[in-house]
Amino acid sequence: MKVPLLDLTAQYASIRDEIDAALAEVVTSQRFILGAVVEACEAAIARYTGSAFGIGVSSGTDALLVALMAEDIGPGDEVVTTPFSFFATAGVIARVGATPVFVDIDPVTLNLDPGRVADSVTKRTCAIIPVHIFGQMADMAPIMEIARSHGLVVIEDAAQAIGAEHAGKRAGSIGDYGCFSFFPSKNLGGFGDGGMVVTHDAARAERVRALRVHGEGVKYHHRVVGGNFRLDALQASVVRAKLPHLDGWSDARRANAALYSRLLGDLAVREPSLLTLPGIVTDRHVFNQYVVRVADRDRVREELTSAGIGTAIYYPLPLHLQECFAELGYLRGDLPETERAADRAIALPIYPELTTDQVRTVADALRGALAGLA
């Protein structure tokens, strides 16, 4: 039995009529840029994530970028973030001319370690970007406390975590900005690129709204320089049509994760040096990815590949060791928890439409590959 890492065709097949109708509505209207469909999508995402305002943007990357721009963060400013994330999290900091400051992760959750965040704040620090990695929220309470006591802006990178929840709050609704991605492989994926910024603050919403159309206030009058960061109506129509299904899909991901835990838990307890399962410490992890850590990861991956099982490595090279950040001066060994996670992490199939048999097949193949190492 082949098990792909992700199969988007299964999801589309299950709601094809709704999606096709939503797309047809936009095509019929010929209203492709902003407009009513985008506004309805913004309102729906704001409501779903527990924020007052939603501003549709061109991608998750641009959501992060425009939030930094809205705070006038630039050269001379430092932004504290995690080195264990997709590149965009740090890339946007460098793009506005600011300096990313990487802080090591908590080895249980693989999220930013708040204890180390406090130590990394300097006079130049302007913002913190916590990432809710793989669909589980970072430890936001202490991060917010540090931010408030130093007057720092918090931008949540919630690209992998729409619908994740802890202590009654949803991902993206705690910081000053929440940033989401509708990249097709995210839990709420469009048919291309798209993203959203959410915020509780009307003035911030207004700034982001202007920045996404070249900083325009009154038509053809520009107080600031922005960009073309708009969410297009076709993507908004797909996202809006999918949103009512999101909780069901997230529950299915959680059920698949629970099944992996049942099938692999004994091995992880007996042989912690061979296998570490995801550490779940929040109320609602939405499992955009199910990432285990294993010994001899590259060999395990090869065996799974030959067994017809799709996997991925998130992320093989931590951000502090990327060539483009060489001048920041980080060396291997500086952030040991992150580097260890990067050496051992492997993502297994977790998408909602997986069958129980497929999950069992993956778990059996993983046990087999790890038995070869013992």
Residues that bind ligand PLP (CB under 6 A): 59-61, 85-86, 88-89, 131, 157, 159-160, 181, 183, 193, 195
**Strands (DSSP E) along 66-174, which ranges?**
78-81, 99-102, 125-129, 153-157, 165-166, 169-170
Measured from each CB, the residue nearest to ligand PLP is 60
Choose between 110 and 362: whose C-beta lies nearer to ligand PLP: 110
Grouping H, G, I as helix, E, B as strand and the rest as coil, residue 310 is coil
- Smallest gap from Cβ 162 to ligand PLP, in A, equals 11
**One-letter amino acid of 254:** R
Smallest separation (angstroms) from ligand PLP to the CB of 39: 20
For residue 180, the minimal CB distance to ligand PLP (Å) is 8
- Minimum distance between the CB of residue 96 and ligand PLP, rounded to whole angstroms? 15
CA distance 49 to 46: 5
Answer yes or no: are the C-beta atoms of 61 and 183 closer than 8 Å: no
Cβ at position 158, least distance to ligand PLP in Å: 8
**Is the CB of 51 or the CB of 85 nearer to ligand PLP?**
85
- Omega cis (within 30) before 315: yes
Dihedral sign for Cα 70, 76, 81, 86, please.
positive
Phi-psi region of 76 (alpha: psi -120 to 50; beta: other; left: phi over 0): left
Minimum CB separation from ligand PLP for residue 55, in Å? 15
CB burial readout 156-182, b (16+ within 10 A) else e: bbbbbbbbbbbeebbbbbbbbbbbbbb
Which residue, 113 or 193, has its beta carbon nearer to ligand PLP?
A: 193
Pick the closer one to ligand PLP by CB: 181 or 250: 181
Nearer to ligand PLP, 138 or 294 (CB): 138
Measured from the CB atom, the residue of 136 and 181 that comes closer to ligand PLP is 181
Contacts for 239 with CB less than 8 Å, ≥ 6 apart = 41, 45, 182, 188, 190, 194
Nearer to ligand PLP, 195 or 352 (CB): 195
Minimum CB distance to ligand PLP, residue 64 (Å): 6
Question: Could you tell me the smallest distance in angstroms from the CB atom of residue 267 to ligand PLP?
Answer: 28
Q: Which is nearer to ligand PLP, 229 or 330 (CB)?
A: 229
Q: Residue 231, Cβ neighbours under 10 Å: how many?
A: 31
Min CB(124)–ligand PLP separation in Å? 23
Count other C-beta atoms under 10 Å from residue 108's C-beta. Answer: 13
> Amino acid letter at 99?
T
Identify whether the C-beta of residue 79 lies closer than 8 Å to the C-beta of residue 154: no
Return the structure tokens found at 155: 């931008």
Which candidate, 98, 92, 94, places its Cα nearest to that of 75? Answer: 98
**347 contacts 290 by C-beta, under 8 angstroms:** yes
Our CB check for ligand PLP shows the closer of 49 and 89 to be 89
